[in-house]
Amino acid sequence: ERVLKRLRQTDNVGHELQVIGDQVDEELAAQKGLAELLEPSIFKRVAIAMMLQVLQQATGINPIFSYGALIFKDITDAGIYSAFFLSGVNFLSTIPAMRWVDTTGRRKLLLIGAVGMVTGHLFAAILFTAICDGNVDNAGCPKVGGWFICVGSAFFVFNFAISWGPVCWIYPAEIFPLSVRATGVTLSTAANWAMGAVMTEVVKLFPHLNINGVFFLFAGLCCICGVFVYFFCPETKGIMLEDIEALFDKSKAKSPHFVEVKSPIENA
């Protein structure tokens, strides 16, 4: 009750508290085990949650941090400092994200972040193409230009940290009913780790695509991130527990205060 009062900024939370309790009781009474995951509305949510986690890794965030020091060592002559710079941007950006995720909304923040990530990757890729040799062993970049490329990557990290970093963990936990929430979130987390393992192999692309080509690849993947959210992820900000079911299952009754932000594919 105290948490609800703090979140809603009002003492009038009795009705919502009762609704949450009723919803929990209803879900516990209707548990069907793992078979429930195959129900259309639940399976759709499993697919969305898993795809969000796969796309989170596909943004290129882990390769940027894993191999960034090596890349920026060649183009700035200060690999360790550029790595600290990117890590600092990542850390500081999570602070406003804690507020923006509720004030801006999950869907909108993911879309804004996708646009920002594409911009950061494209800036780095285009600048690298224009001023560097592109060779993996010797990038051949002027030092000042190398730092501008680092700034482009920092802009990508900022946009990731305020959006796809936190929201891809929040959204899956919100969209599942209590009866399958643990299993659904577990599957989405497994998808994240599986894609993370795949992304460790991205270093093998460097000799074929060169460093600028890898940045272009990540920009394309971030475009896919935005397209996926635009078409498949409805807004969950401010929607109460019992209305999450109505958001994904049209046969469920909606509360009088239900406000929905649909994805275009649901409007069709």
pLDDT for the residue numbered 130: 86
Task: Report yes or no on 23 lying in a domain.
Answer: no
Task: Report yes or no on 240 lying in a domain.
Answer: yes
Token pair for 133: 């040799």
Classify each residue of 214-232 as buried b or exposed e, where b means 16 or more C-beta atoms within 10 Å of its C-beta.
Answer: bbbbbbebbbebbebbeeb
pTM exceeding 0.85? no
Query: What end-to-end distance do the CA atoms of the chain give, in Å?
Result: 39
Is residue 59 within 8 Å of residue 217, measured between CB atoms?
A: no
In order, the DSSP letters of the chain are: -HHHHHHHTSS--HHHHHHHHHHHHHHHHT--GGGGGGSHHHHHHHHHHHHHHHHHHHTSHHHHHHHHHHHHHHHHS-HHHHHHHHHHHHHHHHHHHHHHHHHT-HHHHHHHHHHHHHHHHHHHHHHHHHHS---SS-----HHHHHHHHHHHHHHHHHIIIIIHHHHHHHHHHHS-HHHHHHHHHHHHHHHHHHHHHHGGGGGGHHHHHHHHHHHHHHHHHHHHHHHHHHH----TT--HHHHHHHH-TTS---TT------HHHH-
**Which among 28, 4, 27, 3 has a CA at the least distance from the CA of 15?**
4
Task: Report yes or no on 24 lying in a domain.
Answer: no
* Cβ neighbours of 55 (radius 10 Å): 24
Amino acid at the residue 132: C
pLDDT for the residue numbered 140: 63
Task: Report yes or no on 50 lying in a domain.
Answer: yes
Task: Report yes or no on 59 lying in a domain.
Answer: yes
Q: How far is CA 111 from CA 61, 103, 147, in A?
A: 17, 15, 27
Task: Report yes or no on 46 lying in a domain.
Answer: yes
pLDDT along the chain (268 residues), means of 10: 67 71 63 75 94 96 84 70 88 93 93 98 91 62 78 95 96 89 94 94 80 92 97 89 78 51 50
Task: Report yes or no on 254 lying in a domain.
Answer: yes
Query: What is the span of the domain harbouring residue 138?
Result: 40-267
The domain spanning residue 250 has which CATH number?
A: 1.20.1250.20
Task: Report yes or no on 218 lying in a domain.
Answer: yes
Alpha carbons 228 and 115: distance in angstroms, whole number? 13
Is residue 91 within 8 Å of residue 65, measured between CB atoms?
A: no
Domains identified in the chain, total number: 1
